[in-house]
Each structure stands twice: as C-alpha cells, then as structure tokens.
Structure 1
Amino acid sequence: MKKIIVILLFCLFARNAWATTKVTIQDYPLQIYPNQEFSVVFNIINDFISSDGYYVKGRIGSTSANLNKGETYNPTTNNWLSDTSSWDSFPIINFNNDTIATASAKLRVNQTVFIENNLLVIRINKNGKNYDSSSTALLVFEPTPTPTETISLSPTITPIVSFEPTEIPEPTPISYNNIFINEVMVNPESGSNEWVEIYNDNDFSVTLSNWYLDDIENAGSSPKSFSLEIPAKGYRVFNLSSSMFNNDADSVSLLDFNKNTKDSFEYQSSTKEKTFGRTTFDNDDFCLQEPSYEAINNGCLNPIPTVSLTTKPVPTPTLFFSPTTFSPPRPGNVQLINQLYTNDSQVLGAYTENKQIIKSTNNKLVNSFLIISFSYSLLTIVSVSLKIKLSYGKGKKNFSSFLHS
C-alpha cells in the first residue's frame, strides 16, 4: 500500500514539473559584433500554450546580473527596444494549442556591450510572469577592418597649378508681373501664425528672392523679407514668425526686392480662424472664407447678392382684314403704327426685338394689300375686254349702244 501511495505522489509532482513553461534556444550565431542584427530561433514547451500570445525579448550581457546590453526589434512598430522598455512595446508571438511551439526574434547588441564573452537569454512574458531560457555563450568582437593593398610608387614631381577662387554670383532678383496676394490669415487661432498665400499667374515658375510683406505703408510693422519658389499657376504660403497685421482695420501689401508694390488690399475687420480670399484676378475684391492653404480658394461666407433681370412678355398685335374689300391706309392708321413702336420695357434689348417684330408684321400687311390691289385691277381689265368682244359680234348698232351705255 505504501508503494502505491509513493508512486501516486511521484506522478503528481512529475506532472507539475513537466507543466512548467520551458524556453529553449535552438539556433543563433556564436559570434557577433556591436550593432550587428541577428536572429535567434527558440522553442516554448508548455502543456497550456494558447493563442493569447507571449511577449518576447532578448537579453545580453557579460554576467547574469548585467543582461541589459541587448536590443529587440518589433516589426509591427519598426522600433528597436532596450531591455528596460515596457513589456507592451515588445513583439507578441502567437501559437496554436500545440505542446511545443517554435518562434524567432531579431536582436542586436548596443555599443556598450562587453567585448569577448557574453551570455544570451530569451525571456518571454505571459500574464505578467517572466520565463527565461538557459543562458548560452555569445562571443562579441570588434570587426576587423579589411586590409587594403598599399601600392608603392616612385615619387614624381607634380607641377603645382594655382587657381584663383571664382565666386559664384547670386542670381539677380527679378520683379515679376502677374504675382498676386491670393489668401491671407490675419486672425489665426491662439498659438498659430499669420500667413499669406501668393499666386503665380504666369505660365512659368518664378523665384521671389528677397521680396517683402508689409501692412500700412510707412507705418505699423516693418516690412518682412521672404523668398519663395512658386510653380506656374501655383500657390505658395509664407508663414510669419511673428504677428504683423491688426485684427481690425489694416492692409496687406506685396513688395518686390526694390520694395515696389506689386499687389495690396485693405480690410476693415476680421473673423477669428477665417481668411480673406481673392474672388477674381481682374480686381482687388476679397471676401471672408474658410482657409484653403495652397489650394484654390473656397466660396465666400458672405457672398455678394446678384441681381436677376426678368423680361416682360410683349403682346403681339393681331390684325384682321377682309380679302374682298380693300381700303387704302388712312392718315389715322399712321398713328396706330406709331403706337405699335412704343415700348415701356426696362430690359436691355427688349425694345429692339419688339420693333423688329412689328416692322416684319407691317411689311407682310403692305405686301398683302399690293397683291389684292393688283388682282382687283387685273379682274377689271379682263371683265371690260370680255364685254367688248361680246358686244362687237352683234353689230355696230349694238356696239354703239354698248358705247353709250
């Protein structure tokens, strides 16, 4: 009976010993030099391995009490971590529910490492508990410089040629045209800088060397010098290192290197964190807008109302006439035609259009009258001719009576 109890106790303790996590280093370079990156392959043996993951790091030092010379690479954050970094910054290794899992870590040693013999330990951390591998020997050495072949040459006399240093002249500043102030931030949020956006309306890039920004001429702040390279049809912003413009009434001026004014505009008030943006390059009109910063300006926050013109329909007169009765126009009709030409429309172009419509109608009416008159005359001539022919065939007497009739 005692033997059975001893066997059971031995199995129980043995099982608990086997269940202990064990880290075993499998493969690594035996010798390295400072800052050399290398990989270490290791196994984790544990009967409760899960997919929750382990934190892992490499520890290197000359003694077991000085394992702080190693650095571990985290591929997720692309960072090298020292031995004193927090565990949550180290790489995580996930495993399936296998009894033995294999993993690897990328390590290196820093410049303070002890040259020659050192120790290497892999430490994993799970649920706040650390598990170390057995220490293995690691040799750290100084890299040997590659010898270079020395070629011995016979001394030769080389003539000495002296050259005078040539100074490279600075580019001559150019006072370009078609350079405009496009957007200005005069009232930024607290802690931010004022800035001015400049637009190059040319078909070529320009370099503004030693140009200036100013507020009120001969007053206020001193002009601030700047240099910018602006592409064709492009925008560039100059950020002021200190405040220059007032939040209430002030002006913004762009000066060339000779301090000649190239563009300017004035404002009477401002709104915090809003900018003044140019509405067109045909004039100096600016409006309040949301900042666009080196891009096409946004819409105005206070747009100018537009006036829409509405034309009144002009009634077309309807004329009635009988095709059988023709009356020449009387003097009174002239007044009617003149009245048709009057127009009280206030829209540009309406009077001319109405006049052309009435004139076209009158031309058609006159043509109709001419056709009716001609037809009536032709009918009368034909009727008279027919009557003469009929009467001439009955004799002279009848013809005479016809003439007296």
Structure 2
Amino acid sequence: MPKKVVYLVVLVFFLLFHPPVFADITVVINELLPTPSSGNDWVELYNPSQNDIDVSGWILDDEGTSSDMLKIPDNTIIVKQSFKLFYVSNRLNKDGDTIYLNNGTSELDKYQYISSETDVSFGRYSDGSISWNTCSPTPESANSNCEVIVDPTPTPTPDPSPSSSASQSTSTKSPTPTPKATSTTTKSPSPTSAKLSPQVLSAASESSLILASSTSASTSPIPSMEATQSALSKTKVAGLLVGSGLALIGLSIGFYFWYHRVLGNPKKEQSENKT
C-alpha cells in the first residue's frame, strides 16, 4: 500500500511540474515577413496549445543553405496560446524560399512562398489554422487584414482559326506570275546548228529514250558473286560424287580380277596334276 501512494505522488508531481513533451507538434510557423521596408526580416511562431512549451535549441532554417538560419536560444518558452518573434537577419529570400522548423531531431513545420512584396507578410488566418494568406504584418499579434493566396492559373489562349474571308483575301492578294517575254528567231540570230524547232527536239528526245529503254531491256543481268560461288560449290560437290563413284567401280573391277586370278590358279594346277 505505501508503494502505491509513493508512485501516485511521483506521477502527480511529474504531471504538474514537467513540461509536456508531446506538445512539440502544436508549435507552428504562424507568420513571416521576407521583405520589410526597414529592419530585418522575421519569423513568428505560435503555440495554440493549453501548455507552455520550451523551444530551446529548436532550429529555424531555409532552403539551399549549409548553415542553420537560427538556433533558438536556451530558456526560450512560448506561453500557451501566444506568439514568439525571431529576427533572422535577411535570410528570407525575396524571390521565394522554404522555411523549416525542427526540434533538433525531426521536422515539425514548413512553409514555402514563391515571391514577396514589401511590407506584406505571409500568415495563417486564423492563427494556427492550415490556411495561409497575405496579410498586413502583425508581429506577436493575431493576424488580420489578410487575403487568401490563390495560385494563378494560366488561361490557355486558343489558336486563331483561319476564316474563309481571310483565305479568300489571301488568294486574291497573291500576285500572279508575269509571263516572261519570249524572243523570236528574227531578233536573236543563232548558228544553224542551234536553230532546231521544238518538233525536232522532241523527236530527238523520244528517239534517245527509245534507244535507252531498248539498251536497258537487252542488257542481261550480271550474276552476283554469291550466285557464282554457289554454282562453283555445287559443281565441286558433283565432281566429288562422280569421282567417288568411278573410284568405287574401279576398285570393284580390280577386286574381281584379283579374286579370279588368285582362286583360279590352284584349280588349274590340280587339273594338270590329274592328267
């Protein structure tokens, strides 16, 4: 029984005097001013929870830099439902940037903007909500005078379709070619060999075409190298077969005569001995 009482007292003491460790995710980037007309740019954090949160050692950072934008000093506590402002010495890019908040081990929040205007802040409206707007700067105060940020959507421009009147005007405005003046034989004398009429030229052209076509038709195709090699290889195979057949026939005939000569002599000798 006494042990249970001690455990209960320790638990109550821990809950009353220890800062809540699971309240980190409730701290958010609430407002930022990239382009002030005077002074440094700043980032505002907001604690919407019902508990005070110690943000000592937390880090504010931006995109594309090797060093942290700001490490929050020790003993920095954001009271419940209140704001905390941090100046970041002109680290917010005027042409667009991404701002990160992390507690040293994990990312808690981030916000990205494309461009900025002088003395126009980006803020959540209402405070701590998920809706971002362009606002009048309100450092460490509730955001007000805000307008919803709408991403500009480009409107596609339809391609102009040519009308019938335009095509007609184009066709009527196109200049007609002026025929070139042809010279007559009386004005430009030329040698006798060049004075050929169009009928003579056309006849000569037709005769040359007929001659070329007849020449091309009578020309026999030249066998290719592959066809020649194939024919030679077939001839060699045929020669080998014929030669092998002749050799086999010759061997057979020779064996026949040899056989009768060898076996025929003993019979002849036996017949002579009997007589």
Structure 2 length-normalised TM: 0.43
Q: Which has the higher strand share?
A: 1
Greater gyration radius: 2
Q: Which has the bigger relative contact order, CA under 8 A and spacing at least 6?
A: 2
More helix by share: 2
TM-score (normalizing by structure 1): 0.30
